[in-house]
Amino acid sequence: MFDFLQGYDVLGAFWMTVKLTVFSALGSLVLGTLLAAMRVSPVPLMRGFGTAYVNIVRNIPLTVIIVFSSLGLADIFGVTMGASDDFKLQGFRLAVLSLVGYHAAFVCEALRSGINTVPVGQAEAARAIGLSFSQTLRLVVLPQAFRSVIVPLANVLIALTKNTTVAAAIGVAEAASLMKTMIENEAQTVLIAAVFAFGFVVLTLPTGLILGWLGKRLAVKR
Amino acid sequence: MKLRKAAAASAAVLALAVTATACGSSDKNDSGSSSSGGGKIKIGIKYDQPGLGLQQPDGSFAGFDVDVATYVAKQLGYKPSQIQFIQTKSADRENALARGDVKFIAATYSITDERKQKVDFAGPYLLAHQDLLVKSDSNISKGTDLNGKKLCSVTGSTSAQNVQKTIAPKAQLRELSGYSECIAALQSGAVDAVTTDDSILAGFAAQDKYKGQFKLAGLKLSNENYGIGVKKGDTATVNKINTALEKMVSDGSWQKAVDKNFAPAHYKYEQAPKIGVIVK
């Protein structure tokens, strides 16, 4: 029944999916936190930039962003991420760049909702003892905000894991691209799709369960 | 405890989902009597391949596959107005036939041993070869010229795999999601050549917007025998289609269709193949 799996590096393809996910998750967490800080900062220009970034990027389909990163950024503007004559590496880096840019907007919004759960009194007290804006954010507000948005962030992470499949559109050899190859050769669409669907469930289900449990544990009880 | 429940529940949901997809083929009563007076016939084609199967801005279809399908349907007793064309993407072709969504498929469907286990083929009706589309001033003339060059093909396609395995393992292969994207990369100079079946490349090169910019390198890198896919076990239909295809060649309609669709591309097509003769 599953003999069509022979001769294909399914694990290798999923390893590529994992790599894309991990790099993009770390990147978008950093960029998303920065954006969230911008959106709550007292500087109007920063607030404006953060708001504009989130609203623009969030409303462009990921496929468009990823394909543009390859056909536009790389081919026309020469942004090859230091891999101009190695398409495999170039595709991977461009995919991570696109995934980071796209999911940072979602991370930012999740975090901002977390910042809104922190009572205003906390920030006022921090200001009263003489902390600067960035100290207030770093030491008082963000730690509490993060603890309350672990579950929404887990949602973003699960979406990100599945969204890595779009990288197949620019030739990154991850799970979805191997799936295309196998369907092309084997004429076993349903079984192959089921195997890959199962593979993604194996990746995302524990993520959701563990982070859900962690979110409950760490939530600030008010 | 909660964890275990959640995991068990989701495992059950997954199992359900898989069985639902696997058993989603209901037995449609296929009223495929060929002498049907007022019925419709559903035929699978490609919508996005110029010269073979392309949806026009006005919603009609044009291309060699479309002409072959229309001729075959006529021989089966259906007027053009009774034909309903359905898009069958490469990955859906076997399922569309198994489910009975379409009576037959003419969509650059290469006859291979793996596919023969799933569907029956009539034909072949065209012998295509994997080839390269290069800029008009390019000097690529044989497969080994490609090592070190930049190639583009569609993710997962047989052509892409051939390049990596046999033709030019050292070539830089870029895989994009469609041939239109590859041609865009060729136009901007990001790649040196686009590779897939010559029939498909010819169709793209013949489009008005690319007139005179590209040429086919003329390498016969593989043999692609285009057949008409029919539901497994439907031998009666296979035989009828084979008869229709033979007639199409003998009465000159095949030649007309080839000339009409491939002439602008200067495509050196192969002569009409004999029914049942598959060039390996």
Task: Tell me the pLDDT tens digit for each residue of B177-214.
Answer: 888 889 989 998 899 999 999 999 998 888 888 888 99
Are A71 and B161 an interchain contact pair (Cβ–Cβ within 8 Å)?
no
Mean of pLDDT values over B111-120: 93
Lowest pLDDT segment from A7-16, A128-137, A144-153, B208-217: B208-217
Interface test with chain A among B146, B173, B174, by most A beta carbons within 10 Å? B174
Q: Determine the pLDDT at residue B9.
A: 59
| Res B19 pLDDT > 80 | no
Closest-CA distance of chain A to residue B91, Å: 6
* Residue-wise pLDDT tens digits, A58-90: 999 999 999 999 989 988 888 888 877 788 899
Asked if the Cβ–Cβ distance from A198 to B190 is below 8 Å, we say no
Residues belonging to chain B: 280
Sequence length of chain A is: 222
Cβ(A74)–Cβ(A90) under 8 Å?
yes
- Candidates B7, B94, B175; nearest CB to A189: B94
Distance CA A26, CA B199 (A): 45
Searching chain A, which residue's CA lies closest to the CA of residue B6?
A209
* pLDDT given at position B26: 39
Q: What value does the mean pLDDT take over residues B134-154? A: 84
* Cβ neighbours for A181, distance < 8 A, ≥ 6 positions apart: A8, B155, B156, B160, B161
Contact B118 A187 (CB under 8 A): yes
Question: Residue B20: how many CA atoms within 13 Å on its side-chain side?
Answer: 6
Identity of the residue in B90, B118, B189 whose CB atom sits nearest the CB atom of A184: B90
Helices (H), chain B: 2-22, 64-75, 93-99, 113-116, 158-162, 179-187, 198-205, 235-250, 253-262
pLDDT in the model for residue B8:
62
Q: Sort out which chain B residues have CB atoms less than 8 A from A74's CB and list them.
A: 190
Q: How many helices (H) and strands (E) does chain A have?
A: 10, 0
Q: What string of DSSP letters covers A24-66?
A: HHHHHHHHHHHHHHHHHSS-HHHHHHHHHHHHHHHTS-HHHHH
Tell me the percentage of chain B whose pLDDT exceeds 90.
52
Alpha helix locations (H) across B111-162? Answer: 113-116, 158-162
User: Angle of helix A10-40 relative to helix A189-218, nearest 10 degrees?
Assistant: 40
pLDDT at A168 over 70: yes
With CB atoms and an 8 Å threshold, state whether B156 touches A179.
yes
pTM flag (> 0.85): no
Of the given ranges (A178-192, B1-15, B20-34), which has the lowest mean pLDDT?
B20-34
- What residues of chain A lie within 8 A of the CB of B181, using their CB? 67, 71
- Average pLDDT on B85-112 reads 93
Chain A residues within 8 A of B91 when measuring between CB atoms: 180, 183-184, 189
- List residues of B whose CB lies inside 8 A of any A CB: 3, 6-7, 10, 14, 17-18, 21-22, 90-92, 94-95, 114-115, 117-119, 150, 155-158, 160-161, 172-177, 181, 184-185, 188-190
Closest approach of B35 to chain A, Cα-based (Å): 32
Chain B residue nearest residue A199, CA to CA: B14
Chain B residues whose beta carbon lies within 8 Å of the beta carbon of residue A189: 91-92, 94-95
Query: Residue A93 pLDDT > 90, yes or no?
Result: yes
- pLDDT of amino acid B138: 86
| Res B35: pLDDT | 46
CA torsion through residues B8, B9, B13, B14, sign: negative
Per CB-CB distance under 8 Å, the chain A contacts of B161 are 181, 184-185
Closest-CA residue in chain A for B3? A209
Confidence of residue B12 (pLDDT cuts 50, 70, 90): low
pLDDT of amino acid B32: 43
Query: Percentage of residues in chain B with pLDDT exceeding 70?
Result: 86
Contact B175 A205 (CB under 8 A): no
Confidence at residue B11, expressed as pLDDT on a 0 to 100 scale = 56
Asked if A184 lies within 8 A of B158 by C-beta distance, the reply is yes
Rounded to 5 degrees, φ, ψ at A149 are -115, 25
Report the side by side order of strands in the sheet with B130-135.
B172-176, B150-154, B193-197, B130-135, B214-216
Which chain B residues are Cβ-neighbours of A194 within 8 angstroms?
Answer: 18, 21-22
Q: If interface means Cβ-Cβ distance under 8 Å, which residues of chain A face chain B?
A: 67, 70-71, 74-76, 85-87, 91, 168-171, 177-191, 193-194, 197-198, 201, 205, 209, 213
- The residue with greater pLDDT, A180 or B104, is B104
Mean residue pLDDT across chain A? 93
Residue A125: predicted pLDDT:
96
Interface test with A, best of B92, B177, B188, B222 (most A CBs within 10 A): B177
pLDDT number for residue B116: 94
Compute the distance between CA of residue A185 and CA of residue A6 in angstroms, rounded to an integer. Answer: 12
What does the pLDDT read at residue B7?
59
pLDDT at B25: 39
